[in-house]
């Protein structure tokens, strides 16, 4: 009898974990627009900085994208979705990584140590890869893990490749891991909403 | 009536989350030895690369990190055997294993390609350790660990603006002391105190 209860308890606990992972993934899918927004922001900052030769292109674009993300977060938050432990963990991963990258890059730029273009792309690739991999491990999401691999490959390409190879790798990674992955997440969310509406119609 | 149920549901959910956070923090405290181990490993690697011959200076870090990684893996497998898997536990282990692996690989790549100086290496390491500690502290609502994240971030910023190798050495050695050695011992003390209380209660 006691064994049965323990087994049932374990099954309940596993069910709860599975439900929380599924809920976390649904929540991540509803943030697909943020991936697309940041992908576009990276492109704007990259081309503005390289073609427009504007020294503050990156900080200005990143601050603008952060404000837009906060606006979206505020609108999403007002929909009354309950927060989960995994949701808080995922949010912590992105906020902390974003803030640390912003402060690190700003310090490196102002101290004049960010002269090497390869190095700046390598650091970005490593940190974005780590954030994607941590989320993928928590949510058991293979597509996001592929994004992490793409970012890490960019890090390696930036360390050992030429300037043009680094640029190609960086722009390609933004396209695949921000734009394509963001649209993929948005599509999944839209499909789920349609199914939900059809069920409740 | 439905309102009451929803309120009760929400309260139960909040209680569950609070319990999970407390459980996660207890679990993190039981990993205090890992902070200490890595703090000592950093000191060994720094001393080895600084005091050893030129041939050893570039190989000291990879060898020490791999040895510390293997040791952590062996000890972790023993700890894990006695603990049930939780969502927060999985999140924590995902964050630390990913950050550790990436830090190792990126510093190896940057070092082997000859693109980094000491200041940059400390800035990258400080930034990434700040991220890992910051995420963990936000999830577990642990102020002490958040303080460690701030120390690592300050080290990363300081590494960008320091000019001499002595300054960078003092900065990084102090950060390792506070965020690895002191924090590790603090977590181990909390874990030991909790165990003693638990044993006293069940005696």
Which residues of chain A does B99 touch, with a Cβ-Cβ cutoff of 8 Å?
130, 134
Tell me which DSSP letter residue B18 carries.
Answer: H
Percentages of chain A per state (helix, strand, coil), in multiples of 5: 85, 0, 15
**CA distance linking residue A122 with residue A125, whole number of Å:** 5
Q: Write down the residue that tokens 């576009």 correspond to.
A: A40
Looking at the complex, report in whole angstroms how far the Cα of residue B159 sits from the nearest Cα belonging to chain A.
9
Residue B17: predicted pLDDT: 67
**What's the average model confidence in pLDDT over B103-130?**
83
pLDDT at B1 over 60: no
Task: Write out the two tokens for B114.
Answer: 């000859």
pLDDT digits (tens, 9 = 90+) for B5-49: 566 766 666 676 667 677 777 777 788 899 999 999 999 988 888
pLDDT along chain A (201 residues), means of 10: 62 68 73 90 90 83 92 70 72 90 88 80 91 87 93 90 91 95 90 80 69
**CA distance linking residue A180 with residue A173, whole number of Å:** 10
Residue A17: predicted pLDDT: 67
What is the distance in angstroms between the CA of the first residue and the CA of the last residue of chain B?
A: 44
Domain that residue B24 falls in: 2-202
Per the CB < 8 Å rule, is A130 touching B131? yes
Task: Write out the two tokens for B61.
Answer: 């870090």
pLDDT digits (tens, 9 = 90+) for B58-98: 788 888 999 999 999 888 887 766 665 666 777 788 888 88
Per the CB < 8 Å rule, is B123 touching A108? yes
Per the CB < 8 Å rule, is B20 touching A85? yes
Residue A14: predicted pLDDT: 66
What ipTM was assigned to the predicted interfaces of this complex?
A: 0.73
Looking at the complex, report in whole angstroms how far the Cα of residue A127 sits from the nearest Cα belonging to chain B.
7
Residue B172: predicted pLDDT: 92
Contact residues, A window 137-156, toward B, CB-based 8 Å cutoff: 137-138, 152, 155-156
Per the CB < 8 Å rule, is B135 touching A134? yes
pLDDT digits (tens, 9 = 90+) for B119-168: 888 998 999 999 999 988 888 888 999 999 999 999 999 998 888 888 98
Closest residue of chain B to A133, computed from CA coordinates: B98
- The 3 state secondary structure assigned to B24-59 is HHHHHHCCHHHHHHHHHHHHHHHHHHHHCCHHHHCC
Compare CB distances from B87 to A86, A97, A100 and report the shortest one's residue.
A86
Per the CB < 8 Å rule, is B87 touching A96? no
When divided into structural domains, chain B yields a total of 1
B106 touches chain A (CB under 8 A): yes
What single string gives the DSSP state of each residue in A113-180?
Answer: ----HHHHHHHHHHHHHHHHHHHHHHHT-HHHHHHHHHHHHHHHHHHHS-HHHHHHHHHHHHIIIIII
Cβ atoms within 10 A of the Cβ of B28, count? 24
Which residues of chain A does B97 touch, with a Cβ-Cβ cutoff of 8 Å?
137
């Amino acid at each position: 009898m006691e064994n049965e209860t323990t087994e049932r308890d374990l099954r309940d606990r596993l069910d709860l974990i599975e439900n929380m992972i599924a809920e976390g993934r649904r929540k991540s899918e509803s943030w697909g627009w943020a991936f697309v927004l940041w992908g576009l922001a990276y492109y704007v900052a990259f081309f503005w900085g390289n073609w427009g030769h504007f020294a503050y292109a990156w900080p200005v674009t990143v601050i603008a994208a952060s404000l837009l993300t906060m606006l979206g977060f505020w609108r999403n938050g007002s929909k009354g979705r309950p927060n989960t432990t995994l949701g808080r963990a995922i949010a912590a991963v992105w906020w902390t990584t974003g803030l640390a990258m912003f402060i690190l890059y700003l310090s490196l730029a102002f101290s004049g140590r960010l002269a090497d273009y390869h190095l700046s792309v390598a650091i970005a690739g490593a940190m974005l890869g780590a954030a994607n991999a941590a989320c993928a491990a928590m949510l058991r999401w293979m597509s996001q893990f592929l994004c992490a691999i793409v970012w890490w490959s960019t890090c390696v390409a930036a360390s050992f490749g030429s300037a043009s190879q680094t640029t190609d790798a960086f722009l390609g990674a933004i396209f695949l891991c921000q734009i394509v992955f963001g649209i993929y997440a948005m599509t999944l969310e839209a499909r789920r909403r349609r199914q939900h509406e059809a069920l409740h119609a | 009536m439905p309102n009451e149920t929803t309120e009760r549901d929400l309260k139960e959910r909040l209680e569950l989350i609070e319990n999970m956070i407390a459980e996660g923090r207890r679990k993190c405290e039981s990993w205090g030895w890992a902070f200490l181990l890595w703090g000592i490993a950093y000191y060994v690697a720094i001393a080895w690369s600084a005091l050893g011959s030129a041939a050893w200076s570039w190989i000291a870090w990879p060898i020490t990190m791999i040895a510390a990684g293997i040791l952590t893996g062996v000890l972790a497998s023993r700890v894990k055997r006695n603990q049930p898997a939780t969502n927060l536990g999985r999140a924590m282990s995902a964050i630390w294993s990913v950050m550790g692996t990436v830090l190792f690989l990126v510093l190896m790549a940057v070092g082997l390609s000859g693109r980094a100086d000491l200041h940059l290496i400390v800035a990258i390491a400080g930034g990434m350790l700040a991220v890992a500690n910051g995420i963990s502290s936000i999830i577990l609502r642990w102020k002490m660990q958040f303080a460690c994240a701030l120390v690592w971030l300050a080290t990363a910023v300081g590494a960008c603006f320091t000019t001499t190798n002595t300054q960078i050495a003092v900065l990084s050695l102090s950060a390792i002391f506070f965020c690895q050695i002191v924090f590790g011992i603090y977590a181990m003390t909390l874990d030991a105190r909790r165990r003693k209380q638990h044993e006293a209660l069940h005696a």
